[in-house]
Homo-oligomer: A and B are copies of this chain.
Amino acid sequence: MTTGETSLLVSKPWLRPMVSVEHFRVKRRMTAAGVVRAMRKMGLGAGELGRAYDALNEMRLDGKCTKFMGVAGAMIPAGLRSLIAHMAKRGYMDALVLTGAGVTHDLMEGLGERPSLLRSDRTDEELLSKGVHRIYDIAVKRRSYTKLESFVKRVLRSMPPGSYGTYRVIEALGSAIKDRGSIVKQCLSSHIPVYSPGIVDSVLGSQIWARSEGRVKINVLEDMNHIVDKAWSSKRAGALFLGGGVPKHFILLAAHTAGRPLSYAVQITMDRPEHGGLSGAKLQEAVSWRKLLPGAKRADLICDASIALPLLVAALEERNRHKR
């Protein structure tokens, strides 16, 4: 029996017994929700996408659930920045965990530095000589990092010396950003803490290191403290993971430590499980770690999140019109 089935079932007791596959029927002017909902009784990835939609929908409507979102990978420069900010505004999350690079990318755009799509056949050697950094098919200018550095320096100067959790440093940085489209800015106004426990492992982290002049220290244990309180604060916990990495594990660990194994979980990743990395581990594995409830509503979606997330959120935004 494969992960597929079990992630469907052992672990989805609320599902009905064997049902027939319902073929996707295309209609005139289908909406995003129309497309996703028509996939619910399909097999393979499409069916999993349908279950991801249902799990996220129920999680969102559950007033007693603290919602976590974890984002790894280059999703922000790829074009999901506005969408994630929108999700923060619309109550899709109560806490956000980003990689250091994620915070870096959001802040740089907040300073007016936009990434580009690589549209030439330049080699990495040529890009290097032109001061362009590559993330697969995305280009980020070196000067964007220089601009970020002076911003970081300025903000750090404004902070009283001491030891801070990353969420507090990010708060300080976010409040100095004007751009309303920024994720950290939006989270600030929506009272959503943004954690980045791996921040030192990023350009931003090294800039904080270089510019803090020893005045500002980072104490990631304070982040752990704070996110565990967050999880404690309500009856249930749920999570949406884009990719794995530190964000996925930090959220699972917080849910476990707080005694709130996830009741809802949706993972969107392209990694695979056989070589044992947490990023590609099927959600069900987390049951044995008491990080996920056996009966949790969940979906393991094997898809590039830059494709799946826009489709899912566009569909979820219609939910009032599509009563179930």
Chain A interface (Cβ < 8 Å from any Cβ of B): 1-6, 8-11, 15-32, 34-35, 38-39, 41-49, 72-75, 77-83, 86, 101, 114-125, 127-128, 132-139, 163, 181, 197-203, 205-206, 208-209, 212, 217-221, 223-225, 243, 245-246, 249-250, 253, 257, 270-282, 284-285, 287-290, 294, 302-308, 310-311, 313-314, 317-318, 321
Q: Which residues in B have their C-beta under 8 angstroms from that of A198?
A: 197-198, 201, 246
The smallest beta-carbon distance between A64 and chain B, in angstroms, is 23
Please tell me if the beta carbons of B219 and A138 are within 8 angstroms of each other in the complex: no
Q: Which residues in B have their C-beta under 8 angstroms from that of A314?
A: 26-27, 30, 34-35
Identical chains bound together, number: 4
Please tell me if the beta carbons of B201 and A246 are within 8 angstroms of each other in the complex: yes
Please tell me if the beta carbons of B121 and A18 are within 8 angstroms of each other in the complex: no
The smallest beta-carbon distance between A217 and chain B, in angstroms, is 5
Please tell me if the beta carbons of B83 and A1 are within 8 angstroms of each other in the complex: no
Please tell me if the beta carbons of B122 and A1 are within 8 angstroms of each other in the complex: yes
A-B CB contact pairs (8 Å), 16 listed? A1-B123, A2-B136, A2-B273, A5-B121, A6-B121, A10-B123, A19-B119, A20-B117, A30-B31, A30-B32, A42-B80, A43-B276, A49-B307, A217-B217, A218-B219, A245-B245
Q: Which residues in B have their C-beta under 8 angstroms from that of A208?
A: 221
A275-B73 contact given A42-B306, A128-B288, A270-B302, CB 8 Å threshold: yes
Q: Which residues in B have their C-beta under 8 angstroms from that of A118?
A: 4-5, 8-9, 18
In the complex, what distance in Å separates the CA atom of A189 from the CA atom of B263? 46
Sample of 7 further A-B pairs with CB below 8 A, known A15-B119, A101-B278, A307-B307? A1-B1, A5-B120, A30-B31, A43-B136, A45-B303, A128-B287, A201-B253
The smallest beta-carbon distance between A114 and chain B, in angstroms, is 5
Please tell me if the beta carbons of A46 and B310 are within 8 angstroms of each other in the complex: yes
The smallest beta-carbon distance between A246 and chain B, in angstroms, is 5
The smallest beta-carbon distance between A238 and chain B, in angstroms, is 18
Q: Which residues in B have their C-beta under 8 angstroms from that of A9?
A: 118-121
Q: Which residues in B have their C-beta under 8 angstroms from that of A5?
A: 118, 120-122, 134, 136-137
The smallest beta-carbon distance between A125 and chain B, in angstroms, is 5
In the complex, what distance in Å separates the CA atom of A15 from the CA atom of B121? 11
Q: Which residues in B have their C-beta under 8 angstroms from that of A209?
A: 221, 224-225
In the complex, what distance in Å separates the CA atom of A181 from the CA atom of B24? 12
In the complex, what distance in Å separates the CA atom of A170 from the CA atom of B184? 33
Nearest to A115 among chain B residues (CB) is: B21
Q: Which residues in B have their C-beta under 8 angstroms from that of A34?
A: 32, 314
Please tell me if the beta carbons of B41 and A79 are within 8 angstroms of each other in the complex: yes
In the complex, what distance in Å separates the CA atom of A118 from the CA atom of B12? 12
In the complex, what distance in Å separates the CA atom of A163 from the CA atom of B220? 11
The residue from B1, B83, B163, B303 contacting A124, defined by CB atoms under 8 A apart: B1
Please tell me if the beta carbons of B136 and A78 are within 8 angstroms of each other in the complex: no
